[in-house]
Chains A and B, each alone.
Chain A
Amino acid sequence: DSGVTQTPKHLITATGQRVTLRCSPRSGDLSVYWYQQSLDQGLQFLIQYYNGEERAKGNILERFSAQQFPDLHSELNLSSLELGDSALYFCASRNSDYVGYTFGSGTRLTVV
């Protein structure tokens, strides 16, 4: 157990729908990062939050949004879903006291 918890583990939904993915970071970690892993595109950085504030933005679509709450958990909202949004979505957290990023086990999203 890495200490980073992602729910749900699997999600199947229809095109056009909206879903919310949840991430609880390691205890004490202020930074949360979201990534999308598709078969042919490696690990794409989507967005970073630090203590509730957006810090960096990557290749995140306008249909996607995220936020980090006062208890430091984060949610990634995906709307108007398309078949191409099917992927593994990972959350990672980090604390300046240690080296590296701690990953959750991911949410597998399937859009049908």
Chain B
Amino acid sequence: GEDVEQSLFLSVREGDSSVINCTYTDSSSTYLYWYKQEPGAGLQLLTYIFSNMDMKQDQRLTVLLNKKDKHLSLRIADTQTGDSAIYFCAVSYIFGTGTRLKVLA
């Protein structure tokens, strides 16, 4: 079945850019997603990319998709302390392990 992998932790300084990476095995999904989970809360859709796109920009968020390598990344520019959360990559309804982003002041 589908497998979605992410690194578990990322720590950055406030104001720096954060890059969260994700690899997957099944390339048949129409959409790939990034979700954010704040402490004690459910998951919220942050952004998504259509499978025939290479890049999508949404304010401070940039999503890059490399279909050949089955690699998805999320870049957060000017990272703020409020961005501290767990970020999940999802391919269709299969979610990755989540990356816990910690932003240091």
Contact = CB atoms under 8 A, between A and B. Distances in A.
Given A35-B95, A43-B88, A100 B42 contact: no
Interface stretch (B10-18, B43-51, B65-73): B43-51
Contacts of B33: 99-101
Interface in A52-77: 56, 58
Contacts of A92: 43, 93
A56 B45 contact: no
Interface string B1-43: 1000010000000000000000000000001010100000111
Interface residues on B, range: 10 to 19
- Which one of B44, B90, B93 has the highest number of Cβ atoms from chain A below 10 Å of its Cβ? B93
Contact of B48 (A41, A42, A99): A99
Given A43-B88, A99-B31, A100-B48, A90 B93 contact: no
A42 B96 contact: yes
Nearest to B95: A43
Contact of B97 (A33, A42, A94, A101): A42
A104 interface: yes
